[in-house]
Homo-oligomer: A and B are copies of this chain.
Amino acid sequence: MMARQRTDSKVTEDFGGLRMTKQRQVVYDVLTDLGSTHPTASEVYVTAKERMPTISLATVYNCLETLTGAGAIKQVNIDREASRYCPNLQPHAHFFCTGCNKVFDIGLESDADATSVWSLPEGCRLEEMHVAMRGICGICDRCSQCCAESGQS
């Protein structure tokens, strides 16, 4: 699935013949390094600029779009807030906690199919599905019970 190429330190992945420029590699690495924080384009930009001071915000946007198009990363939208980006390619939903403002990946129950609960009209070809949830995460919920404060991050 992923071909290796020569690089000094990092595994460079080949996503569908995408030319992996230095900028794209930095953006991709930042995204995987930020792990599950689901950063926005601006947040990616801040960290990318530390590693490559000449990179521009427009380039970060370009790279994120290109990587998304190539299927290397996913774009996550919660309402109309700034898009976030996510390196998790497994099928999953996103839980947005209104207490701490964090986004969590939510996996499928084992051998569950997210589409099967929906009554799709005959002939529909489903190509993508985005599931966004809002609520209070377990940490914030527990915190609000014991200290009666909103668990700000």
Q: What residues make up the interface of A, taking CB atoms closer than 8 Å to B? A: 75, 77, 79-80, 83, 93, 95, 98, 104, 106-109, 112-114, 116-139, 141-142
Q: Is the CB of A124 within 8 A of B138?
A: yes
Please, which residues of chain B bring their CB within 8 A of the CB of A120? 95, 106
Please, which residues of chain B bring their CB within 8 A of the CB of A80? 77, 80, 83
Supply 12 further A-B pairs (C-beta < 8 A) apart from A106-B121, A121-B138. A107-B118, A108-B117, A108-B118, A109-B117, A114-B117, A121-B137, A123-B137, A123-B141, A124-B138, A126-B134, A131-B131, A131-B132
Q: Is the CB of B137 within 8 A of A118?
A: no
Could you list 10 A-B pairs, sorted by A, with CB under 8 Å? A93-B118, A95-B126, A107-B118, A109-B117, A118-B131, A123-B137, A124-B135, A125-B136, A127-B134, A132-B132
Please, which residues of chain B bring their CB within 8 A of the CB of A104? 121
